[in-house]
Amino acid sequence: MATTQLETYPVKFTEGDLAPSIVVQILDATDTPIDISAYTFTMKMQRSGTTLLTKVAVSLNATTHEFQWALGDLVAGTHRVEVEQDDGTASVPETSDKFLIEVTEDLG
């Protein structure tokens, strides 16, 4: 079975931090954000050797949703992330993106 190489999210995170968040937008062919107010986005993050963290994005406005971190969400390591989108019309949510995030240890 072939393994897919996942890209690393371009932002670095630090253990224990609450920012930066991960912002979700869907762009049309002209790179204009579309209305996603009816969508639900769910992120599943497999933390290295520990538990699966599941988060639902908060809607900020008609074109932007955001995954916000809580204390304890970001632990040091490289973690695999999958984002599912549900526009309310499909019986099963569609996987829209898969990537890695790197979380560095907080040096205090």
Q: What is the mean pLDDT for each group of 10 consecutive residues in the chain (108 residues)?
A: 69 94 93 94 87 95 96 93 89 84 91
**CB 64, CB 24: distance < 8 Å:** yes
Q: What pLDDT, on the 0 to 100 scale, is given for residue 83? A: 94
Peptide bond into 33 cis (omega under 30): no
Q: What pLDDT, on the 0 to 100 scale, is given for residue 59? A: 96
- Which residues sit opposite 79 in a β-bridge? 101
What pTM, to 2 d.p., does this model score? 0.86
Q: What pLDDT, on the 0 to 100 scale, is given for residue 21? A: 94
Structure tokens given for 32: 């204009």
Q: What pLDDT, on the 0 to 100 scale, is given for residue 67? A: 96
The CA distance from 47 to 65, in Å, is 22
Domain ranges, ordered by start, for the chain: 13-104
Q: Does CATH number 3.40.50.410 belong to domain 13-104?
A: no
